[in-house]
């Protein structure tokens, strides 16, 4: 399965983000991850496609699990504008459907983010990076893992993450190595800083 291809059914409305939504915190965090090559692009990896994405829950009336997420195919860019973020307004992991707006489509890994927000109401931020060294040493570090036969961005991945969260007592912060997604690590927290700290702990 090719990296970067959206696997879910997307209902998308191309329109600017609501004005009150702010990308400043996300951009500051993203810049640090980009500098560490945890988000980026490398001609030698994943057929040269960009990798890594992050998201933050937002306040929107009637949309309890809405979140802002970096747009599809933005991993190679050192900094993003508002036009390069998408707003996920609803999702159904069971039906593999996702609804979004913005001036770019959401990351192909938005479904995994959505499942974490739905399963864990206290979680405010989710970060997905590619980190070969940590991923290869997932067992040594005793990381939570999803199985090697489960590819990224699929309903199976959504179900596997839901199951992990359940089995571990609905942790408000966590870090998972997705063994079916080369180098893929996902972390979450009650704040963006907490999610980032889960990652930097291993640097």
For Zn ion, the closer CB: 17 or 183? 183
For Zn ion, the closer CB: 40 or 184? 184
Q: How far apart are CA 140 and CA 60, in angstroms?
A: 41
Q: Which residue is nearest to Zn ion (CB)?
A: 184
Q: How far apart are CA 1 and CA 142, in angstroms?
A: 27
45 Cβ contact partners less than 8 Å away, ≥ 6 residues apart: 51, 130, 183
For Zn ion, the closer CB: 151 or 184? 184
Tell me how far CA of residue 121 lies from CA of 51, 114, 168, in angstroms: 26, 11, 15
For Zn ion, the closer CB: 21 or 39? 39
**Shortest Cβ distance from residue 84 to Zn ion (Å)?**
17
Site of interaction with Zn ion (CB under 5 A): 184
**Shortest Cβ distance from residue 154 to Zn ion (Å)?**
12
**Shortest Cβ distance from residue 113 to Zn ion (Å)?**
11
**Shortest Cβ distance from residue 133 to Zn ion (Å)?**
16
Q: Do 164 and 157 form a contact (C-beta atoms < 8 A)? A: no
Q: How far apart are CA 54 and CA 34, in angstroms?
A: 11
């Amino acid at each position: 399965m090719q990296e970067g291809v959206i696997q879910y059914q997307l209902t998308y409305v191309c329109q600017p983000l609501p004005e009150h939504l702010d990308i400043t915190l996300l951009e500051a965090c993203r810049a640090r991850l980009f500098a560490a090559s945890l988000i980026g692009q490398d001609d030698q990896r994943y057929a040269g496609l960009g990798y890594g994405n992050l998201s933050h829950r937002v306040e929107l009336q009637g949309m309890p699990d809405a979140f802002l997420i970096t747009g599809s195919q933005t991993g190679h860019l050192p900094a993003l504008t508002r036009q390069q973020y998408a707003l996920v307004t609803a999702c159904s992991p069971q039906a593999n459907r996702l609804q979004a707006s913005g001036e770019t489509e959401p990351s192909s890994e938005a479904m995994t983010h959505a499942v974490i927000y739905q399963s864990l109401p206290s979680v405010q931020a989710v970060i997905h990076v590619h980190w070969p060294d940590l991923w290869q040493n997932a067992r040594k570090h005793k990381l939570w893992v999803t199985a090697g036969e489960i590819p990224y961005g699929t309903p199976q991945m959504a179900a596997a993450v839901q199951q992990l969260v359940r089995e571990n007592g609905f942790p408000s912060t966590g870090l998972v190595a997705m063994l079916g997604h080369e180098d893929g690590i996902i972390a979450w927290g009650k704040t963006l800083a907490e999610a980032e700290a889960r990652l930097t702990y291993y640097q």
